[in-house]
Amino acid sequence: MTNIPELFGSMVFNDEVMRERLPKDIYKALRKTMQSGKHLELDVANVVANAMKDWAVEKGATHYTHWFQPMTGVTAEKHDSFISPVGDGKIIMEFSGKELVKGEPDASSFPSGGLRATFEARGYTAWDPTSYAFVKDGTLYIPTAFCSYTGEVLDKKTPLLRSMEAIDKQAKRVLKLFGNDNVKRVSTTVGPEQEYFLIDKEVYEKRPDLIYTGRTLFGARPSKGQEMEDHYFGSIKPRVAAFMKDLDEELWKFGILAKTKHNEVAPAQHELAPIFSTTNIATDHNQLTMEIMKNVASKHGLACLLHEKPFAGVNGSGKHNNWSLSTDTGMNLLEPGDTPSQNAQFLLFLTAVIKAVDDYQDLMRVSAASAGNDHRLGANEAPPAVVSMFIGEELEGILDAIESGTLYHEKEKTLMEIGASVLPHFPKDTTDRNRTSPFAFTGNKFEFRMLGSSMSISGPNIVLNTIVAESLEQFADRLENAADFQTELNALIKENIKEHKRIIFNGNGYDDEWLKEAEKRGLSNLKSTVDALPEFVSEKSKKVFTKHGVFTEVELESRYEILLENYYKTINIEALTMVDMVKKGVFQSVLKYQKDLAKVMSEKKALGAEFDVTMESSLLEKISKLSASIYKNLEVLENSIVEAKNHDSDAYEEAKYYREVVFDNMNVLRTVVDEAEAIVGKDYWAYPTYEEILYSVL
């Protein structure tokens, strides 16, 4: 039986290992760097590097890599061995502080949004000591930031660290006003719930669309999808349970706090949820989790799908970003306490978040925008593209009372009476939950539900940290200069509730009536990624990011270009894959089916007039018309792909063209192909059907 406490973090150069292996003065210097961001001296780095190398070698490592997160959305790594020649054909295993703190990968082949030309190759990786190193597959992985030769950041980690520093600075100003002088650090914490699909690997390998794009570009709806709601929280199939067991153990080795696992709503869909970690570490862990999921699935003869919408007609996959604020003294700043109406500090931080989300709702939408997530947002499974907040009846009642200047009477906790004496009584929460809200308060944290399952959580948390830092700065500026703190505090909370309450909505976010109501309230509805992305580089966005030192204007513009490029390249790959599948598979299927139908008709007619060929004739007519329609719409799609080149001088116009023309042409072609699949016999169809895919794992 696995000894979990012994297994947990066994492949991580964590605090326990550092305390054991480093001299006390070196350990203290490193901890100071980790906690307060102080510069690490090279002599300290040399000692840390040597200890890290010795530990890694004991764990079977022969190489090290600076592990970083470029703008590709996945991680990157270049491996170097520890070997160093000493003469006479001999080597030693060596690793210096200089090698630990700095690496030099080629920067020219990563997305840079114009920051780097192809011939400008130099880039740097810099060790992030706030995220622990670990050993995986014989290599020491060192989490790092990534920047260009000219200093602009090319990764997702550096802006995240900057945003964490921004909110730390402003939150401490506010806490000081409440007498919390002992707080040295305020950190945002995150627990990202990860949804995914598991299908049989053999079936996966027969679908080029899944291999190249992560989603099915064709597929008639199965006879049974999620209508019976029997998969959600259902018993876990043995093959999936074996995968989940191995996945947990692999994640635990790397110190990843995998806690909850269950079946999700759609057939073959599942979820993993971790315990909260500091946002920087949670981001690293989530990137690692997605990679390990795929590797473990492969070992079990499975394929793990992380696309937001792998299958039409059933729920897609999201990633729920549970975000909160905590101090180094153990306070959760979003904990209401037993009497939230009397908890002024909580109410101020809550108001800061409400103001931030209302002021920067467009940035929140941008942070969850991608080609894959466009298929999911607004469907009856995910929040709409309109950003709103759920805070529950109790908190809404408190805010209403503050706004109107009336007293709020706290609700007493009542016991749940379920009606069977054998069942235990337990306290009932004062507020229900709302799974339809894009940004929901869930007790002592906010759950940002708009994220797509394949996304890095860095982008949404960069936005959240920055915009809340902006609210807190405005509050601190005002309160620090107040003649009477309590009077000014009450006025500030009241004014901001009145000004920003339009963003609060506790109802059904899936209801079409809400979209009409949201429009009346003046909330934006950026339906697609192309609609949303320009907001990333608006003057308002530039001002807040540059003010808090999270991005420079140049870095913002470059990321905007990269996001647009990722969008239209994704659709281009999908369109080309669709064309290829129709030409190499769909045509052969329908033509062979037509040929055999015609043959049967001919043979029956030859046997005499008494043999009825009505069925064959009707089927042949239907499939012939569909074949012609497939051919016609394929030509339209191919022509639109060629035409897209005429828009490549402007990234936004190209992205817009792909959204409005190529994407629409793909949907028209898909509709016809799916109709043909529903008619053509199973033995003729070139690709595994939805029934075969969704129910492939027993």
pLDDT above 70: percentage of residues in the chain: 92
Residue 322, beta-bridge partner list = 191, 447
Supply the pLDDT for residue 416: 44
**Residue 381 φ/ψ, nearest 5 degrees:** -160, -15
Supply the pLDDT for residue 429: 53
* Cα–Cα distance for residue pair 29/17, rounded to 1 Å: 15
In the chain, what is the straight-line distance between the N-terminal and C-terminal CA atoms, in Å? 25
Is the CB of residue 303 less than 8 Å from the CB of residue 363? Answer: no
Handedness of CA 171, 176, 177, 178 (dihedral sign): positive
| pLDDT at 464 exceeding the cut of 90 | yes
Handedness of CA 552, 543, 69, 16 (dihedral sign): positive
| pLDDT at 426 exceeding the cut of 60 | no
* Cα–Cα distance for residue pair 179/264, rounded to 1 Å: 45
Q: Which residue has the higher pLDDT, 395 or 684?
A: 684
Task: Give me the mean pLDDT over the 634-646 stretch.
Answer: 96
Least confident of 195-199, 219-223, 675-679: 219-223
Of the pLDDT bands very low, low, confident and very high (cuts 50, 70, 90), residue 37 is low
* Cα–Cα distance for residue pair 558/439, rounded to 1 Å: 28
DSSP class of residue 75? -
Q: Please report the domains of the chain, with CATH numbers, ordered by start residue.
A: 4-154 (3.10.20.70), 163-214+231-410+427-551 (3.30.590.10), 567-694 (1.20.120.1560)
**What are the residues whose beta carbons fall under 8 Å from the beta carbon of 554, sequence distance 6 or more?**
115, 152
Supply the pLDDT for residue 257: 94
**What are the residues whose beta carbons fall under 8 Å from the beta carbon of 352, sequence distance 6 or more?**
174, 468, 471, 472, 475
Of the pLDDT bands very low, low, confident and very high (cuts 50, 70, 90), residue 420 is low
**Residue 133 φ/ψ, nearest 5 degrees:** -75, 160
Q: Which of 446, 548, 469 is nearest to 168 (CA)?
A: 469
Is the CB of residue 403 less than 8 Å from the CB of residue 415? Answer: no
* Cα–Cα distance for residue pair 669/647, rounded to 1 Å: 23
In 581-630, beta strands by DSSP E: none
Q: Which residue has the higher pLDDT, 517 or 124?
A: 517
Task: Give me the mean pLDDT over the 366-383 stretch.
Answer: 84
Of the pLDDT bands very low, low, confident and very high (cuts 50, 70, 90), residue 383 is confident
Structure token pair of residue 373: 């997530």
How buried is residue 483: exposed, middle or buried, by Cβ count under 10 Å (0-12/13-18/19+)? Answer: exposed
* Residue in the block written with tokens 């809340």: 468
Chain-centroid distance of CA 42 in Å reads: 36
DSSP class of residue 648? T
Q: Which of 697, 172, 195, 114 is nearest to 435 (CA)?
A: 195
Task: Give me the mean pLDDT over the 526-535 stretch.
Answer: 95
Structure token pair of residue 287: 């990137």
Supply the angle between the helices 663-679 and 614-643 in degrees, to the nearest 10.
Answer: 160
Task: Give me the mean pLDDT over the 24-43 stretch.
Answer: 83
Chain-centroid distance of CA 682 in Å reads: 36
Rounded mean pLDDT of the chain?
A: 90
pTM of the shown model: 0.93
pLDDT in tens, 581-616: 999 999 999 999 999 999 988 888 888 767 788 888
